[in-house]
Amino acid sequence: MVANGPKKSSKERETILIVDDEPSIIDVTRDILKVLGYEVLTAKGGREAVQLYRQQADRIDLVILDMVMPDMGGEDTFDLLRAIQPAVRVILASGYSEAGQVQQLMERGCRGFLPKPYRITDLAKKVRAVLDQES
């Protein structure tokens, strides 16, 4: 097992859904998380993420959610994910300064924030910390 990697057995690998409208962010984050031992699903926007989550919420342990996306922003996506599963674990990721919006979502149940661009170690630590939180 890689340090800061999954805690489930190899038969029950933790699954992370990456939601971002930038293909390069999806690709790099997916590759990092796979090296760390996680299963990874991806969505190119909020609408796709909600549809995928609706179908597979029982296997998704964590969502890494971009705040600014053209089809549906992070706030609306977060609300719809919570409507499906109130205890959804979400880490917000953003390269923009939306401190007020981020703070509001944190107060409403979002589990963490990763400023973009994030380092591999920051991603690994934040993912592990949020996965280890009580539901």
- Domains of the chain, start order: 12-129 (3.40.50.2300)
What is the C-alpha separation between 16 and 24, in angstroms, rounded? 17
Q: Residue 114 belongs to what H/E stretch?
A: strand 112-115
CA dihedral sign, ordered 33, 36, 41, 46: negative
**pLDDT tens string 19-34:** 999 999 999 999 999 9
Average pLDDT, the chain: 89
What is the C-alpha separation between 86 and 97, in angstroms, rounded? 26
What is the C-alpha separation between 21 and 44, in angstroms, rounded? 5
- Given this model, what pLDDT does residue 97 score? 60
- Given this model, what pLDDT does residue 114 score? 92
